[in-house]
Structure 1
């Protein structure tokens, strides 16, 4: 099972896994999610944070005899990790690591205590005091740049806290790192051994990374390996970091799942999803930290074509509903 069929990298992941010979079931909250129609079977599910999500996912796994789940959105991670209790392989880090990463304030404190370099971070409820502006303000929980803003002055920060739609206690304020940003795939499984670290320099980011290039950077790799050593993810995770004025990498966020740039990791030579899935289900071989530097990802829309019978077979978005959605679009609704 692959979740979040409507996110940017999911359709490609589904097609890749099917090409490797897996039968893939996809889920999403939106019947228009394209991955639902590229999988062998698609299902609509409740939102990941709802009480109905886990029972629905568990029921689908039982019905489809799913051996593994690949969760690709933060809201679902905590619930999905419970499927391991059912004997299903969940391609995510261990539960404690997931819960730590989903609370950005807790994560920054844990990393700092472990000696992993991070930007200065504090609660937005604390006095601005000696903050050096500009700063980044963002929710303690959230993803995809939602609620994130850069504030150039104490007055702008105060306005953001007051009118941003979040209680001050639910926001953190971080030092803005002006250097090069990296998003890094860290490939590790339950034995705790890091199999590969693939840093990708961010070229363009709009919520998710749009353009990026694989870039060898030994110090970035060292910091990412330190995260695994100190916090024991024991599953795939994505480190987001940037260089400070001295060129030192500082971790500002960790996604306890595969990165949205996983397709670039694959293109560079490390099939992190397929490789770890093979290890989880069949004791497959470890992946090698052997990949090509200088591979650029250009994220774009891509069309896929299926027979109408296959489209209808999924029974998620009937053809009549699809036509209605098209008419709504033309009518400006």
Structure 2
């Protein structure tokens, strides 16, 4: 079972797994999510941070006889780990690593204590007012929890800081302030499973990022690989994770975030020679072979829109429709898709 079927990279992941012989069930909150129609089966689920999410996933795993779940969005990670108690393999790091990474302030403290380079980081409620003067590249303000680039603001003055706190909708202790590192950015796939041995580290230099990485290229970088292995040794993820870092003015990696799940650039990792998702799935459910740290440098990813084609019967077999709701699907009424989706409010066009 693969979640987040509407995310940009997920349809490709679904197709890739099917091509490698896996039966794939996809889930998403949105009936328009394309991955729902490219999987063997598709199901609508509540949001990952809602109380209804885990019961729905538990029922779907039983109905579809799922042996493994590949979660791909942060909001659902803590709840979906519970499926392991039902005998379902969850392709995530250990829970304590997941919860540490989801609190970015706690993560920075733990990495710093382990001697791993990070940007200077404060809670917005306690940052020193002269920090803006000593950070030549400016400062990054972002929510303490949450995924991707949501809510991230660049500031360079105390006045900006006051405005961000007053207008951002977050309490000061729900925001962190980080020194902005201006060097090249890397997103790094760290391939590891329950034995704790790192099987591969694949650094990818980010060329363009707009919410998700859109252009990137694989790069061999000895110090980046060393730091990522040190993270596993210190924090014991024992599952796949993705490190976000920048190189400082001296070329040293400074980790600013860790995603405790597969990266949105896992397809680039596979194209370079390390098929992390399919490889770890085989190890988890079929005693498959370990992956090796052998991959090609200079493989560039260009993320684009594309189309896939299937028969009408394949498209409609899921019992879900991506079409806008009919006039019967007004607030207070359930969607006519028959999937138990939440009511959908009408859209007014001017």
For normalisation by structure 2, the TM-score amounts to: 0.91
The one of 183, 191, 211 equivalent to 2:215 is 211
* Rounded Cα–Cα distance in structure 1 between residues aligned with 2:270 and 2:144: 31
Report if the CA contact (8 A) 1:312-1:319 is conserved: no
Q: Distance in 1 between matches of 2:83 and 2:231?
A: 25
Q: 2:129 touches 2:158 (CA, 8 Å); kept in 1? A: no
Alignment of 1:1-333 (within 5 A): 1-131=1-131, 132-133=134-135, 134-317=138-321, 332=349
Which structure 1 segments of 5+ residues have no match?
A: none
Unmatched 5+ stretches in structure 2:
329-345
Hey, what's the Cα distance between the residues in 1 that align with 2:74 and 2:90?
14
Where 1:245 maps in the other structure, the secondary structure is coil
Write the deviation string for residues 255-281 of structure 1: whole angstroms up to 9, x where unpaired. 000000000001000000000000000
Q: What's the TM-score once normalised by structure 1's chain length?
A: 0.96
Contact 2:32 2:323 in 1 (8 A): no
Alpha-carbon spacing, 1:87–1:179, altered in 2? closer, same or farther (3 Å):
same
Q: Does 301-310 or 24-33 show the bigger shift?
A: 301-310
SS across alignment from 1:314: coil
SS at match of 2:224: helix
Contact 2:215 2:300 in 1 (8 A): yes
Higher helix share: 1
Say which SS state the counterpart of residue 317 (structure 2) adopts. Answer: helix
Q: For 2:66 and 2:320, locate their aligned partners in 1 and report how far apart those are by CA, in whole Å.
A: 19
Task: Tell me how large the CA RMSD over aligned residues is.
Answer: 2.0
Map Cα deviations across residues 136-181 of structure 1 (whole Å, 9 max, x no partner): 0000111121100100212112111111111111000000001010
Give 4+ residue runs of structure 1 displaced > 4 Å after superposition: 318-322, 329-333
Mark the CA change 1:304 to 1:232 in structure 2 (over 3 Å): closer, same or farther: same
Q: Output the CA distance in 2 between the equivalents of 1:22 and 1:144.
A: 29
SS of the residue corresponding to residue 286 of structure 1 reads coil
